[in-house]
Amino acid sequence: MSINDQVKKIVKEYLSSIQPVAVMYGSVTNTNPLEVNVDQRLTFTADFLIIPEHIGTSLEPGAKLILLREAGGEKFVAIGRLMD
């Protein structure tokens, strides 16, 4: 294996281990305080969510959101709302 192939392999393994971004889908279960349920097993509160103003004004229980997990997985950014 050439040095170039070894470097590519190392970079690929590194990127898969840090998971820079992940797409998740969640449902709003409560609006005050805000709670979003993901995969029927995780519930995120407002402390873990970044909600843009254009999305936040229309949230109601049952609304479905598209979330991106930040690198490191500590915050989730709502990038859109799914239509029913």
SS (H, E, C) 48-70: HEECCHHHHCCCCCCCEEEEEEC
pLDDT digits (tens, 9 = 90+) for 5-52: 999 999 888 877 777 788 899 999 999 999 999 988 899 999 999 999
Class of domain 19-82: mainly beta
DSSP state of 47: G
The model's pTM: 0.73
- H/E stretch holding 3 reads helix 3-18
State residue 22's pLDDT score: 83
pLDDT digits (tens, 9 = 90+) for 56-71: 888 999 999 999 988 7
